[in-house]
Structure 1
Amino acid sequence: MRLPSSWLLGVAFMFSLASHASGAASPSNAANVDDELIQQGEYLARAADCSACHRPPEESGQPFAGGYVIASPMGDIIASNITPSREYGIGDYSEAQFKRALTEGIRADGAHLYPAMPYTAYSGLTDDDIHALYSYFMHGVEAVDEPTPETSLPFPFNLRVSMAAWNFLFLDDAYTHDPEQSDTLNRGRYLVDTLGHCSACHTPRNALMGENNDRYLAGANVGGWYAPNITSDASGIGNWSVEELVQYLRTGHVENQAQAGGGMAEAIEHSLRYLSDEDLHSMAVYLKQVPPTATGPAIDVSQAPREVEPVSPATLEPLRNDDPQAMSDGKRTDGQTLYNGACASCHQIDGQGTDDQFYPSLIHNTATQGPNADNLIMSVLQGVHREIDDYTVAMPAFGEQLNDEQIAAVSNYVLSQFGNPELDVDAARVTELRQGGPTPLLVKAMPWLMAAGVIFALFVLGLIVFLIRRKRR
């Protein structure tokens, strides 16, 4: 599912009419606002995953205070304060301005938002839902009177006005109710396409960074992680049941199938686990009927375990101590030794995980059986973390302890022993993912485009000078 990370995660930009001594709204001002409407808005904010991006950098910070850094191919984007603070948040937004920010990507001051804010998806929000969201952020969120750093992208991406042309190409009304479809399918599509903005991560981008709708939900790389194919094809979720999808959306874990990491783990932690069973069921039903797009052979996680060669305990002893240097000296590049020293204590030497699957199998797992090894690599680099209700799932990150050659070696060992043996990982791919994933064509081409622009401008200027001089003769 959606990993996320990634740079395209959802937010809302809201307003408050009430104020207190500091000039900002607070939940105490909600006496004249319908409690049910506020609760509805809170639920919608969860479904829209606003808090995943607009959280503070530190865990102890106030919700929606902003400051979280969203890594994008164009540079770091700083999530803004969307509490009803008049000075630092969105406390001076009218409901019309709030709607325009959500659905058109234009702030109250007229400046354009970057599409890290998924307004292309939110453009399909109903007026009733926008009003409920507005009421919640106006009266149900505590104001935080603290500024956030400004986003400062390199030229020419710092020219927000350029988003007007991008919006002309890629901003559409994303959702219309289809009377020929069931209420379940309509609700599922609204949750997937609009509130949940799943396509922001799971649909690949074209050369201009717009979504390639011809490959809707067919999978894409986001911040190094691979947001997989979630169409009904066998290379996507075609072999999943509706019940398995609901369980995954709720918990991020389906035994002997898949576990969520990266941006998808964040989406589950901050958003999906709060949705009703009915809504999760609607999402699953809708996803199961999305037209199939093949991205490779069918994913088969049901294969029997392979026989694993025994390893001498003597080779493991140097790795089993409290000194991270035992692995980070960079000298050990034998995948089996690295696996048994760093991974086997949880995933077991045979890769089957623990009996209760709290530490999951690496054999029956989409991260090792999928069309590429990116999520396996990223799990080693960044680890896995998600909080679900009353328990926490955590896999440590080894990105600082292991170099790229070592991560490639242990990944290849896992693939050859437990996963898709046709995949091969090299250190260059690990380096690329460590740096945030493949660089988009637009970013690669920008220096050449800028040079061409300068040459064209000089040509036009020279032509004007020539014509003026010719006219004077």
Structure 2
Amino acid sequence: MRLNASLPALGAALAASLVSLTSHAAVSEADEALIQKGEYLARAADCSACHRPPEETDKPFAGGYVIASPMGDIVASNITPSHEYGIGDYSEAQFKRALTEGIRADGAHLYPAMPYTAYSGLTDDDIHALYVYFMHGVEPVDEPTPETSLPFPFNLRFSMAAWNFLFLDDAYTYDPEQSEALNYGRYLVDTLGHCGSCHTPRNALMGESSDRYLSGANVGGWYAPNITSDASGIGSWSEDELVQYLRTGHVENRAQAGGGMAEAIEHSLRHLSDDDLHSMAAYLKQVPPTATGPAIDVSQAPHEVEPVSLATLEPLRSDDTQAMVDADSIDGQTLYNAACASCHQVDGQGTEDQFYPSLIHNTATQGVNADNLIMSVLQGVHRETNDYTVAMPAFGEQLSDEQIAAVSNYVLSQYGNPELEVDAARVTELRQGGPTPLLVKAMPWLIAAGVIFVLFVLGMITFLIRGKKR
């Protein structure tokens, strides 16, 4: 009797277990879908480009990568779900606040090297998907990263509250008069992709100048070009060419990506869907034009390139292994043939398949400045695509600033814009990270003025107290 009495209870328990298992399976499937969505969004937001270890490892988002900023080196933090060293203890509300307001769980302010001014436009659904992904789809890495240590007064993180008051706002609002594709293209460009972080110039306080939106800026020595619809930007590009560039960083007889753009393609853009890339390109094509110089048309050579005869070339060949490190060797043609001609060819035309691109039909040599040409020689170009790897060697340690200026001027005079001229001082400046912002230049004077003001106030208070006593 006792066994028979227990059968209904056993059946009920089994049924409950089956319901629980079915429910758990449904939740797991939902979580898996959210994790996949969050992973895609993290790719679109280019999180891994900064929050990576300083060397190639299998520990994504472990942090430690050093970001060179005008204020000093900023170390990317560990954003794995490590409870001790990462964001494992973050609630979703704290995660959202860090993403959209630049404030960590402990209340400390982040520096805007973290593009929270762009992420402020993230939707709640996307933030939730990102949170689920980072908490459940990323392996925790229980390793510390060095703390960022900027010089005074930039080390005063609380001062970012005033900066946020001036420059932090919602970067994205839905426009009902535009198509879904254009709206999402803007969301990808402005919010997830934070393209303005590089392509929009900065004002005196290092905030983005909204009146010059996407019109080009210098970032760490590289020039992020004008990507508005003006002829000096991408006005002559087709949507398909833009999509190809976003996916591979290369469009024949147009341009090749280096520096930060190459990193964005490697870590982010090449992983996006065709629909999303087309949405981005369509949006960029209708961004209001901002003129930054003459129209850039690289379809035609700036002047006829004279073929180099063997009789002219042969004396320039050298078996001296010190030819490129000899500080006295500043003949541009000699340096070009020693360092560049094996890939870009003696006549600058590149290889037939354009894997090694032409230097003639090239925005780096025909653009508004020669910074990207100089930086390509200094730092080389590394770009991983879905189909191949680009690896132009860096010559910054082999060539002096005078030599880099000489070879750059040779390339410009022979294959590019002969009106541009590079001097060693510009190479030195770019080697050190580019022009120093006005805020950084003025900071010693501002500190001195602040000290004088404080001393003046203290003196006035002392004078008034003594006067009252008398």
Same fold (TM over 0.5): yes
Using CA pairs below 8 Å that are at least 6 residues apart, which structure has the higher relative contact order?
1
- Aligned-residue identity in percent: 85
Does the residue aligned with 2:357 lie in a helix, a strand or coil? coil
* Alpha-carbon distance in 2 for matches of 1:42, 1:443: 37
User: Is 2:439 aligned against 1:442?
Assistant: yes
Paired residues of 2:308 and 2:346 also in contact (CA < 8 A): no
Shift of 1:413: 0.5
Which position in structure 1 is the counterpart of 2:258? Answer: 261
Q: What's 1:312 paired with?
A: 313
Deviation sequence 1:158-196 (CA, Å, 0-9, x none): 000000000000000111111111111101000000000
| Counterpart-to-counterpart distance in 2, 1:365 and 1:423 | 14
Equivalent residues of 2:327, 2:400 under 8 A apart = yes
Describe how 1:426-437 pairs up with structure 2 within 5 A: 426-437=423-434
Please tell me whether the aligned partners of residues 205 and 212 of structure 1 are also in contact (alpha carbons under 8 angstroms). yes
Specify the SS of the correspondent of 1:327: coil
Q: Is the 8 A contact 2:316 2:337 kept in 1?
A: no
Which AA in structure 2 matches 1:192? V
The residue aligned with 1:272 is 269
Q: Are 1:247 and 1:253, in contact at CA under 8 Å, matched by a contact in 2?
A: yes
- Give the corresponding residue for 1:72: 69
Give how far 1:308 is off.
4.2
Shift of 1:32: 7.8
Q: Match of 2:245, as an amino acid? A: Y
Question: In structure 1, what is the Cα distance between the partners aligned to 2:199 and 2:185?
Answer: 16
Equivalent residue for 2:286, pick from 289, 292, 295: 289
1:454 is matched with which residue? Answer: 451
Moved over 2 A (4+): 30-33, 308-312
Tell me the residue number matched to 1:367.
Answer: 364
Q: Deviations over 1:367-387 (max 9, x none)?
A: 011000000000000000011
Question: Counterpart of 1:24?
Answer: none
- TM-score norm. by structure 1 comes to 0.92
For 1:389 and 1:176, locate their aligned partners in 2 and report how far apart those are by CA, in whole Å. Answer: 32
CA distance in 2, matches of 1:32, 1:197: 31
Secondary structure in structure 1 of the residue aligned to 2:198: helix
Per the alignment, in what secondary structure is the counterpart of residue 68 of structure 2?
strand
Equivalent residue for 1:86, pick from 62, 83, 87:
83
The CA distance in 2 between the partners of 1:33 and 1:83, in whole Å, is: 22
- Displacement, 1:315? 2.0
- Aligned counterpart, 2:221: 224
Q: Tell me the distance in 2 between the aligned counterparts of 1:445 and 1:378.
A: 27
Find out whether 1:337 has 2:338 as its counterpart: no
Paired residues of 1:105 and 1:117 also in contact (CA < 8 A): yes
Aligned CA-pair RMSD? 1.1
Tell me which residue corresponds to 1:53: 50
Determine which structure has the larger helix proportion and give its number. Answer: 2
297-306 or 273-282, larger mean C-alpha shift: 297-306
CA distance in 1, matches of 2:387, 2:286: 33
Structure 2 stretches lacking a partner, 5+ long: 1-26
Would you say 1:187 and 2:188 are equivalent positions? Answer: no
Q: Greater Rg, structure 1 or structure 2? A: 2
2-side partners of 1:61 and 1:370: how far apart?
A: 38
The aligned amino acid for 2:220 is G
Write the mapping of 1:65-464 to structure 2, written as runs, cut at 5 A: 65-304=62-301, 305-310=304-309, 311-318=312-319, 323=321, 325-464=322-461
Q: What amino acid is aligned across from residue 129 of structure 1 in structure 2?
A: D
TM-score, length-normalised on structure 2? 0.92
Q: Distance in 1 between matches of 2:46 and 2:155?
A: 26
* Structure 1, 329-338 or 198-207: larger mean CA deviation: 329-338
